[in-house]
Amino acid sequence: MTEAVEAGAPASAGPDGAAAGGPTDADWAAAVAAVRELRADARVLLICHVNPDGDALGSMLGFALGLSRLGVRQLQATFPGPAGVPEPFRWLPGVELLVSQDDAYPDPDLVICFDAASESRLGDLADRLATAGTALVLDHHASNTGFGTVNLVDPHAAATSVVALGLLDRLGVTVDAATATGLYVALTTDTGSFRFEATTPAVHEMAARLLATGIRPGDISRRVFDTRPFGAVRLFGEVLGRATLEPAAAAGHGLVWTYATHDDLARHDQPAYVLEALIDSVRCTAEADVSCVVKQSGEAEWAVSLRSKGAVDVSRVAVGLGGGGHRFAAGFTGRGPIDEVVESIRVALSAAVLTPRS
Ligand code: AMP
Ligand code: MN
Ligand code: MN
């Protein structure tokens, strides 16, 4: 459920250099203008990435509530794929603005994308980039391809909600507790509850500002991170029980991996999203720098999560296999038998080692 984002990483740009140094003054001004110039009857569609996590949903819904405070009335939020919101996020203020992808405005005046590094992360909703009047992209992936008309991409931001708050501030929106809740969920998700390197002084200052609105961090953490059905606890036991440690992988830095199938989910009567938290248990393994969870997503299709403690650039592995992400938290979609997917990871890992093993 959490994705490690390293702070102060060298700003590696997307293919066209869009993400290099974060948004310029001109980018911010263009984004402010795109919102300010909306007519009273304008339709605004917010989209976050497929299989939305806390940053995707939290930054999108927090921003949506801020926009409604500005007087935007025709406002929808959506994400590609099945419409169900994962249980940990169903209580978020603003969920009432969510519509299924089939009900989303076909040709909105403004589309705003959250936490998506490329068009492919928008699934069937990617066509709105062409049908919308303006496409505004808010993101923090260094690999962002700059696919919007206006791109606010800050690879140094700990979460997309840092960028979202930056824009709300420039629009003069007062951040209330409802807006703060989504932005805070996003920040805690992507910093691993303020444990990862991305947890800069600025992150704590933003958290302090959001907490000052009166939101309750204990309640929020319990709902988002510390609650799961008993069936999921049993499922985790089984899936963790078959984790494999390969000390020689990643040029000796070590790989630990496990997998979960649709059949595993069905046996424990669990929805797929419960598996998002699994990587946090697997990546604890002391003997491995790299951790991996392979989750069945189709007949011969697998959603792969990769994490590194610092010795390996897993975004290079993921990008090489058709996915994306950050240096120490990345993912891709694997196709074919699981053995072949894992073997492709082993091969790619040996080429992505940042520091030789001493
Ligand atoms: P996850 O393991 O799903 O938490 O994702 C970790 C990071 O990798 C996040 O920054 C995701 O946006 C990115 N990511 C995961 N899966 C994909 C994919 N199929 N394509 C591109 N980026 C991905
Ligand atoms: Mn995300
Ligand atoms: Mn994010």
For the Cβ of 305 lying below 6 angstroms from any atom of ligand 1, the answer is yes
Ligand 1 in contact with 128 (CB < 6 A)? no
How far, in Å, from the CA of 80 to the mean position of ligand 2? Answer: 13
User: To test the ligand 1 pocket, which listed residue (119, 305, 345) has its Cβ within 8 A of the most ligand atoms?
Assistant: 305
For ligand 2, the distance from its centroid to the CA atom of residue 53, given in whole angstroms, is 5
pLDDT in tens, 50-84: 999 999 999 999 999 999 999 999 999 999 999 89
DSSP type of residue 128 = H
For the residues 245-249, what does the mean pLDDT come to?
Answer: 98
Proximal ligand: closest to the CA of 324: 1
pLDDT, position 357: 80
Nearest CA residue ID for atom 10, ligand 1: 325
Burial of 22 (0-12, 13-18, 19+ CB in 10 A): middle
**φ and ψ at 13, to 5 degrees?**
-80, 160
**Residue 25: which residues within 8 A CB-CB, separation 6 or more?**
none
Q: Provide DSSP, 172-201.
A: T----HHHHHHHHHHHHHHTTTTTSTT--H
Of 48 and 12, which is predicted with more confidence?
48
Residue 229 reports pLDDT greater than 90: yes
The phi, psi pair for 355, rounded to 5°, reads: -125, 125
Q: Identify the nearest ligand to the CA of 198 by its number.
A: 3
Ligand nearest to the CA of 280: 1
Ligand 1 pocket member 332 (CB < 6 A): yes
255 and 248 Cβ atoms separated by less than 8 Å: no
Q: Are the C-beta atoms of 233 and 266 separated by less than 8 Å?
A: no
Cα–Cα distance between 247 and 125 in angstroms, integer? Answer: 41
The H or E element spanning position 246 is strand 244-246
Q: Nearest CA to 292 among 335, 326, 245, 256?
A: 256
User: 225: which 2 tokens?
Assistant: 């991170």
Cβ(330) to ligand 1 under 6 A? yes
pLDDT of 7 reads: 38
Residue in this structure with the two tokens 């709902």, named with its chain if needed = 223
The CB of 333 under 6 Å from ligand 1? The reply is: yes
- State the average pLDDT for the chain: 94
Given ligand 1 and candidates 332, 333, 335, which is best to mutate, with the most ligand atoms within 8 Å of its CB? Answer: 332
Report how far ligand 3's centroid is from the alpha carbon of 61 (Å).
14
Single out the residue of 60, 329, 22, 13 nearest to residue 202, CA to CA. Answer: 22
Q: Whose CA is nearest to atom 12 of ligand 1?
A: 325
Instruction: Give the pLDDT band of residue 1 (cuts 50, 70, 90).
Output: very low
Task: Please name the residue whose Cα sits nearest to atom 8 of ligand 1.
Answer: 330
Read off the pLDDT of residues 157-209 as tens digits, 9 standing for 90 and up: 999 999 999 999 999 999 999 999 999 999 999 999 999 989 999 999 999 99
Per DSSP bridges, beta strands 244-246 and 255-260 are antiparallel
pLDDT at 236: 98
The pLDDT of residue 14 is: 38
* Separation CA 88–CA 273 (nearest Å): 9
3 lines ligand 1 (CB under 6 A): yes
Show the tokens assigned to 185.
Answer: 């969920």
Sign of the dihedral defined by the CA atoms of residues 151, 157, 163, 166, in that order: negative
Gap from CA of 323 to ligand 3 centroid (Å): 15
Adjacent-strand bridge partners of 294: 259, 304
| Index of the ligand 1 atom closest to the CA of residue 333 | 19
Angle at 118 between CA 77 and CA 310, to 5 degrees: 110
pLDDT for 356 equals 84
- The CA-CA-CA angle for residues 34, 39, 45, to 5°, reads 60
Instruction: Name the residue among 142, 118, 162 with its Cα closest to residue 20.
Output: 142
CA of 190 to the centre of ligand 3 (A): 6
Q: Using one digit for the tens of pLDDT, what is the confidence trace for 325-339? A: 999 999 999 999 999
At 314, list the tokens.
């897993």
What is the tens place of the pLDDT at every residue in 14-47? 333 445 689 999 999 999 999 999 999 999 999 9
